[in-house]
């Protein structure tokens, strides 16, 4: 067997080297400081250690408390040989099991299907609670243009680099043409960075790829919106989206995570049939919601139009078979048109001080990207600082 080629690495990335770039953001981008959103490997442990019960009303707090008490049993039923807080517990398998039971009208009893429905409700609530974003929208981790103090804020620094061309700290007339974000994450840290620019009077707004109802930025007075300066496509839904199951309207809560109160009416049609718009992290996930399907169509168009795809903190997991298929199809169609695609992976190396009983996720990602993209992929020479170090090294 021939030796595998050595992966191509680089240390700095030039923004101007590609006319159009899609930035694909995975869990590792939001897991880094100061955001510290737990990945799936740490989500249950995060829920177990939460000191504050989420929810703005006693009813919502009681709902979470009940779900938290039932989670260990839901997990043990799927993987009885492991403690529910074992990092090796696979959430995709847990979700998939209950989705399959809930859909099995032939073999599962009504009681089993009802339990599966409750398990899915509790698991979704845990995901929302673990990935929610609290605090002020103008906090240091969401500020751009040198207004962050001592705290590193890689999302804000990336936005700043795109606006300034990695030059001086002045907005370059929102020179973000040719850049689009596609995120696999639920959290709204990146949204807050973008909406902070708007609240600060810089006049930008966000194109989510679908029409949204409600206050995209509650802190900004109503009026004529400028043309969107940023495209942010959320292929798995978002913590600041609510869906009306009567009229299909998607309502945005802007810079704050969504909460649905009992009997809450839709702002579009008045029906009290509001739900959250998140795609479950499962092996059997589906993307048949009209809004999610529209976001995927837009993501395809952006990938087809861009000659460079930059993946940040995304391990290209096998569970994301739909997204892997989309990437495979887009790069093949671009190649058939005689178009080259530059694929870039940005990850992090564990610090020598870290002693975690886990495989080296960066090496696993290198293997996954090399298998899918072959010679088309280059790897940032990863450091323990990961995303934050990469952004500081961007060039104009």
Between CA 35 and CA 59 the distance in angstroms is: 28
Q: What percent of the chain has pLDDT over 70?
A: 85
Domain span at 23: 8-36+136-392
Contact between 280 and 124 under an 8 Å Cβ cutoff? The reply is yes
Q: Which pLDDT value is given to residue 344? A: 96
- Does residue 203 lie in a domain region? yes
- Average pLDDT of the residues in 42-55: 91
Same domain, yes or no, for 14 and 110?
no
- Provide the pLDDT confidence category of residue 174 given band limits of 50, 70 and 90: very low
The pLDDT of residue 396 is 80
Rounded-to-integer distance, Cα 362 and Cα 359, Å: 9
Same domain, 176 and 127: no
pLDDT of residue 4: 60
Which is higher by pLDDT, 260 or 138? 260
User: 351 or 17: whose pLDDT is higher?
Assistant: 17
Residue where a domain stops, chosen among 131, 166, 189: 131
pLDDT reported for residue 256: 86
Whole-number Å distance between alpha carbons of 324 and 350: 26
Q: Which has the higher per-residue pLDDT, 172 or 163?
A: 163
Q: pLDDT higher for 306 or 8?
A: 306
For residue 384, give the nearest of 351, 356, 347 by alpha carbon: 351
Please report the pLDDT score of residue 7 as a whole number.
Answer: 77
Q: Is residue 383 part of a domain?
A: yes
Determine the pLDDT at residue 148. Answer: 55
Can you tell me which residue has the tokens 């529910």? 84
Rounded Cα–Cα distance for residues 190 and 313 (Å):
14
pLDDT for the residue numbered 318: 87
Specify the higher pLDDT residue, 8 or 146. Answer: 8
Q: Is residue 3 part of a domain?
A: no
- Mean pLDDT, rounded, of the chain: 86
Q: Does an H or E element contain 241, and which?
A: strand 237-244
Does 3 have pLDDT greater than 60? no
For the segment 82-98, the average pLDDT, to the nearest whole number, is 94
pLDDT category of residue 198 using cuts at 50, 70 and 90: low
Residues 180 and 123 in one domain: no
Mean pLDDT confidence for 218-236:
65
- 100 and 210 part of one domain: no
Question: Is 380 a domain residue?
Answer: yes
| Cα–Cα distance, 51 to 54 (Å, whole number) | 9
Alpha-carbon torsion angle 124, 191, 211, 130, nearest 10: 0
Same domain, 276 and 376: yes
Taking the C-alpha atoms of residue 53 and residue 63, their distance in angstroms, rounded to an integer, is: 10
Q: How far apart are CA 60 and CA 92, in angstroms?
A: 25
Residue 330: pLDDT over 90: yes
User: What distance in Å separates the CA atoms of residue 83 and residue 72, rounded to the nearest whole number?
Assistant: 8
- Say yes or no: 32 and 45 in one domain: no
> 236 in a domain, yes or no?
yes
Tell me the mean pLDDT in the region 157-185.
74
Query: What pLDDT, in 10s, does the model give residues 98-156?
Result: 999 999 999 999 999 999 999 999 999 999 999 998 888 778 888 766 555 566 789 98
The answer to whether the CB of 188 falls within 8 A of the CB of 132 is no
Considering 14-28, 160-174, 203-217, 341-355, the range whose residues carry the highest mean pLDDT is: 14-28
Q: How confident is the model at residue 361 (pLDDT cuts 50, 70, 90)?
A: confident
Q: What pLDDT, in 10s, does the model give residues 272-301?
A: 999 999 999 999 998 989 999 999 999 999
Backbone angles phi, psi at 294, to 5 degrees: -65, -40
> What are the two backbone dihedrals, phi and then psi, of residue 386, each rounded to the nearest 5 degrees?
55, -130
Residue 14 has phi, psi (to 5 degrees) of -90, 125
Region 245-272 average pLDDT: 90
Q: Which of 166-175, 191-200, 386-395 has the highest mean pLDDT?
A: 386-395
If one compares 140 and 376, the residue with the highest pLDDT of the two is: 376
How many structural domains is the chain composed of?
Answer: 2
Token code pair at residue 353: 């001080």
pTM of the shown model: 0.91
In contact, 315 and 28? CB cutoff 8 Å: yes
Most confident of 202-216, 260-274, 324-338: 324-338
Same domain, 179 and 213: yes
Given 115, 131, 147, the domain boundary residue is 131
User: Where is the domain boundary, 131, 150, 182?
Assistant: 131
Question: Residue 324 class from Cβ within 10 Å (0-12 exposed, 13-18 middle, 19+ buried)?
Answer: middle
Question: Is 66 within the bounds of a domain?
Answer: yes
State the helix-helix crossing angle for 321-336 and 361-373, rounded to 10 degrees: 40
Pair 262, 125 in one domain: no
Whether the ω angle into residue 34 lies within 30 degrees of 0, i.e. cis, is yes
Burial class, 133, CB count within 10 angstroms (exposed 0-12 / middle 13-18 / buried 19+): buried
For residue 127, what pLDDT is reported?
95
- How distant, in Å, are the alpha carbons of 165, 293, 319, 329 from that of 378? 22, 30, 23, 19
Could you tell me the CATH number of the domain that includes residue 247? Answer: 3.40.50.1220
Q: Judge if 31 and 122 occupy the same domain.
A: no
Q: Identify whether residues 254 and 105 lie together within a single domain.
A: no
Same domain, 74 and 190: no
Token pair of 270, please? 């008045």
Residue 310: is its pLDDT beyond 90?
A: yes
What is the reported pLDDT for 215?
A: 53
Q: Check whether 222 has a pLDDT greater than 90.
A: no
**Helices H / strands E in the chain, number of each:** 11, 11
**249 and 174 assigned to the same domain:** yes
With 70 as the cut, is the pLDDT of residue 163 above it? yes
d(CA 212, CA 242): 10
């Amino acid at each position: 067997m021939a030796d595998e080629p050595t992966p191509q690495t680089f240390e700095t990335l030039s923004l101007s080297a590609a006319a159009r770039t899609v930035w694909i953001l995975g869990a590792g981008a939001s897991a880094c400081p100061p955001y510290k959103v737990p990945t799936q490997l740490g989500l249950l442990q995060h829920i177990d250690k939460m000191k504050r019960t989420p929810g703005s009303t006693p009813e919502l707090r009681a709902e979470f408390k009940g779900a938290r008490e039932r989670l260990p049993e839901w997990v043990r039923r799927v993987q009885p040989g492991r403690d529910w807080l074992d990092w090796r517990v696979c959430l995709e398998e847990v979700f998939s099991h209950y989705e399959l039971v809930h859909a099995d009208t032939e073999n599962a009893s009504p009681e089993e299907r009802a339990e599966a429905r409750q398990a899915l409700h509790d698991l979704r609530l845990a995901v929302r609670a673990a990935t929610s974003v609290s605090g002020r929208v103008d906090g240091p981790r969401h500020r751009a243009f040198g207004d962050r103090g001592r705290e590193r804020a890689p999302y804000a620094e990336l936005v700043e680099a795109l606006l300034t061309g990695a030059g001086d700290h002045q907005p370059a007339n929102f020179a973000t043409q040719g850049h689009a974000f596609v995120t696999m994450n639920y959290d709204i840290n990146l949204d807050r960075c973008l909406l902070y620019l708007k609240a600060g009077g810089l006049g930008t707004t966000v194109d989510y790829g679908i029409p949204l109802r409600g206050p995209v930025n509650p802190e900004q007075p109503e009026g004529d919106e400028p043309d969107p300066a940023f495209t942010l496509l959320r292929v798995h839904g978002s913590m600041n989206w609510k869906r009306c199951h009567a009229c299909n309207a998607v309502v945005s809560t802007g810079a704050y995570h969504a909460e649905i109160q009992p009997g809450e009416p839709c702002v579009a049609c008045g029906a009290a049939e509001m739900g959250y718009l998140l795609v479950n992290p499962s092996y059997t996930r589906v993307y048949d919601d009209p809004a999610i399907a529209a976001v995927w169509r837009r993501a395809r168009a952006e990938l087809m139009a861009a000659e460079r795809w930059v993946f940040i903190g995304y391990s290209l997991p096998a569970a994301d078979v739909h997204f892997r298929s989309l990437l495979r199809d887009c790069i093949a169609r671009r190649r058939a048109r005689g178009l080259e695609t530059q694929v870039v992976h940005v990850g992090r190396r564990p610090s020598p001080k870290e002693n975690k009983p886990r495989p080296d996720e960066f090496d696993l990602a290198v293997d996954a990207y090399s298998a899918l993209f072959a010679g088309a992929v280059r790897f940032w020479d990863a450091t323990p600082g990961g995303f934050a170090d990469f952004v500081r090294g961007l060039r104009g």
